[in-house]
Amino acid sequence: GAVVSQHPSRVICKSGTSVKIECRSLDFQATTMFWYRQFPKQSLMLMATSNEGSKATYEQGVEKDKFLINHASLTLSTLTVTSAHPEDSSFYICSARQGGDQPQHFGDGTRLSIL
Amino acid sequence: EDQVTQSPEALRLQEGESSSLNCSYTVSGLRGLFWYRQDPGKGPEFLFTLYSAGEEKEKERLKATLTKKESFLHITAPKPEDSATYLCAVQRAGGTSYGKLTFGQGTILTVHP
């Protein structure tokens, strides 16, 4: 149980392209989903928190117009990196949480490479 | 500000050589402490949640314990397949954090056959 699916697993695209990443909770309803960024040999850095049907809460220093988050249903959240540039290249990971004292369950991440 | 510090940064063990990983934390009211395992190129895999000092949880060769200032992940007779990065995270009680976690930097465990 508690499976989170993230797609695509890898994206390579040209500078200026917008990229959409999907995060789905397959066997539970997620009241809250989270988006993280992870640099090589570093821990997870929280980018934003989203609750179904409401606007995402972004962490300090994260550009909300650059990283668009939509949480349209209890099982799906999307992250769109708009007009991506090489400095946006990173490993992006989503997680989903059922609520209460339940833990976050993570997807397998998306490796984004901007040329 | 919540802080989580894990030690050591890296740990190399021989198969069967038991050891412990440490997670020291500072949080204004702990709602839960979480342990995750992360394999290269993958997302973290949930292992344990601990809620209060004195609590212990076990899963196969792993045992997690919690005090008011730190948590330990004990690995008994490890196998090469236990090699991974182990992450510790805390969740603050109350507020509008929506279950936000603060992660430590992780301990890279390598178990040699």
Option in A49, A94, A103 nearest B100 (CB): A49
B47 touches chain A (CB under 8 A): no
Question: CA of A80: how far to CAs of A13, A19, A64, A83, A84, in Å?
Answer: 14, 5, 10, 9, 9
Cβ within 8 Å, pair B43-A106: yes
- The strand pairing partners of B22, in sequence order, are B7, B72
Asked whether residue A40 carries a pLDDT value surpassing 90, the answer given is: no
Nearest to A1 by CA among A20, A27, A23, A21: A27
For residue B59, the model assigns a pLDDT of 95
Q: Which residues of A touch B95 (CB under 8 A)?
A: none
Question: CA of A30: how far to CAs of A22, A73, A74, B71, B106, in Å?
Answer: 14, 9, 5, 28, 26
Q: How many CB atoms lie within 10 A of CB B65?
A: 18
pLDDT in 10s for each residue of chain B, 113 residues = 889 999 999 999 999 999 999 999 999 889 999 999 999 999 999 999 999 999 999 999 999 999 999 999 999 999 999 999 999 999 988 766 667 899 999 999 999 99
What does the alpha-carbon distance between residue A46 and residue B43 come to, in Å, rounded to a whole number? 14
Asked whether residue A100 carries a pLDDT value surpassing 90, the answer given is: no
Option in B98, B100, B104 nearest A43 (CB): B104
A75 touches chain B (CB under 8 A): no
Q: How many CB atoms lie within 10 A of CB B83?
A: 17
Q: How far is B48 from chain A (nearest CA, A)?
A: 9
B69 touches chain A (CB under 8 A): no
What does the alpha-carbon distance between residue B71 and residue B65 come to, in Å, rounded to a whole number? 5
A39 close to A101: Cβ distance less than 8 angstroms: no
Cβ within 8 Å, pair A103-B34: yes
Sheet arrangement for strand A4-7: A4-7, A19-25, A76-81, A67-73
- The strand pairing partners of B107, in sequence order, are B86
What is the rounded radius of gyration, in angstroms, for the C-alpha atoms of chain A?
13
Asked whether residue A12 carries a pLDDT value surpassing 70, the answer given is: yes
What does the alpha-carbon distance between residue A2 and residue B36 come to, in Å, rounded to a whole number? 14
Place of tokens 């929280």: A46
A94 close to A77: Cβ distance less than 8 angstroms: yes
Q: What share of chain A is helix, strand, coil (3-state, %, to 5)?
A: 5, 50, 45
Q: Average pLDDT over chain A, rounded to whole? A: 93
Which of B103, B107, B108, B110 to mutate: most A Cβ within 10 Å? Answer: B103
Cβ within 8 Å, pair A95-B43: yes
What does the alpha-carbon distance between residue A2 and residue A96 come to, in Å, rounded to a whole number? 9
pLDDT tens per residue, range A45-78? 999 999 888 889 999 999 999 999 998 899 999 9
Residue of chain B minimizing CA distance to A37: B43
A37 touches chain B (CB under 8 A): no
Identify the DSSP state of A31. S
B94 touches chain A (CB under 8 A): no
Q: Which residues of B touch A107 (CB under 8 A)?
A: 43
